[in-house]
Structures are given as structure tokens and as C-alpha cells.
């Protein structure tokens, strides 16, 4: 698989490193060159300093041949715009956004975009660890697709 990971924070670095360990080709994009220090020693991919929604940056990362785009920046809006651009402009089949705001995650999932609602997933994990009954104000949390 050829994947582009947008954002090299803790989540992006972890995903990119795991993908390389599994033999996938990975390009990581981040605005801050110093963010790449988070990548594991086993990371064998490419890094690009740039912005998630800059088409020239995405083209230089090889988005036209990407099997997947994974947006993990700290900004929900940037992540959602990046996956929308990947899907609509570049026809990337798997474009997944980490989204902290569960309302945005749900809205984009309803439009057919894949989202990972990270705050909901973390909340569910803590409830499970504490042995509580799951809190389901709108039904169980699901990863949007």
C-alpha cells in the first residue's frame, strides 16, 4: 500500500511507523520539520515539510498514486478538508480523518467520509477500563464510514 500520512504528531508518527514496519510505502507531511523526530527508528518512508491542503504539496507526495490518505493533524477542519480534497480532487479510495469533535465526525461520516472520532474512542476505552456501562447518548460510538 502507498499511503500519505498528514500530520506527524503522536498519532501520525505512530501510524506511519507501524505502516512502515508492515512493509507499506509511506510519505509523512507536516508543517513543522521538527515533528519528524517522533517517527520510530524503523520508519523507512519519506518526509515532506508542507501543508495538508496545499495541492502542490500533495502532488509532490504522490497523491495521484496513493492508496490511502490518513489525516491526523491537531485541527479537525484541516483533517476534514484534506480527506475531502483527497477523495474528490484526486480520487483516493481510502481517505480517513481523525476528528476530535464527535458532531463533525458524525456529520462527515453521514456524507460518506471515513472518520476516526478520537475523543469518543478514548472515552469508550476509559469507561470499559473502569467497568462502567457504556455512555450512549446517541447510540454506541462507531467509526464513521
Q: Does residue 142 lie in a domain region? A: no
Q: Measured between alpha carbons, how far is residue 77 from residues 15, 55, 98 in Å?
A: 20, 16, 10
Report the domain count for the chain: 1
Question: pLDDT of 92-125, one tens digit each?
Answer: 999 999 999 988 888 888 888 899 998 888 888 8
Q: What is the pLDDT of residue 135?
A: 66
The helix/strand count (H/E) of the chain reads as: 5, 6
Q: Helix, strand, or coil here: 20?
A: helix
Q: Please give the residue range of the domain that contains residue 53.
A: 2-130
Q: What is the pLDDT of residue 140?
A: 44
Q: What is the pLDDT of residue 33?
A: 98
The pTM assigned to this predicted structure is: 0.87
Q: Residue 120 sits in a domain of what CATH number? A: 3.40.50.720
Question: pLDDT of 14-56, one tens digit each?
Answer: 999 999 999 999 999 999 999 999 999 999 999 999 998 899 9
Q: What is the pLDDT of residue 143?
A: 54
Q: What is the pLDDT of residue 141?
A: 47
Q: Does residue 27 lie in a domain region? A: yes
Amino acid at each position: 500500500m502507498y499511503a500519505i500520512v498528514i500530520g506527524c504528531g503522536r498519532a501520525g508518527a505512530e501510524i506511519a511507523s507501524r505502516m512502515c514496519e508492515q512493509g507499506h510505502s509511506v510519505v509523512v507531511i507536516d508543517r513543522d520539520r521538527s515533528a519528524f523526530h517522533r517517527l520510530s527508528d524503523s520508519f523507512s518512508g519519506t518526509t515532506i515539510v508542507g501543508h495538508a491542503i496545499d495541492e502542490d504539496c500533495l502532488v509532490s507526495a504522490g497523491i495521484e498514486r496513493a492508496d490511502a490518505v490518513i489525516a491526523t493533524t491537531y485541527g479537525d477542519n484541516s483533517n476534514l478538508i484534506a480527506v475531502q480534497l483527497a477523495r474528490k480532487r484526486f480520487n483516493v479510495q481510502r481517505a480517513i480523518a481523525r476528528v476530535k469533535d464527535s458532531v463533525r465526525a458524525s456529520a462527515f461520516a453521514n456524507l460518506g467520509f471515513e472518520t476516526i472520532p478520537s475523543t469518543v474512542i478514548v472515552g469508550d476505552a476509559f469507561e470499559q477500563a473502569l467497568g462502567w456501562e457504556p455512555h450512549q447518548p446517541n447510540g454506541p460510538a462507531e467509526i464513521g464510514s
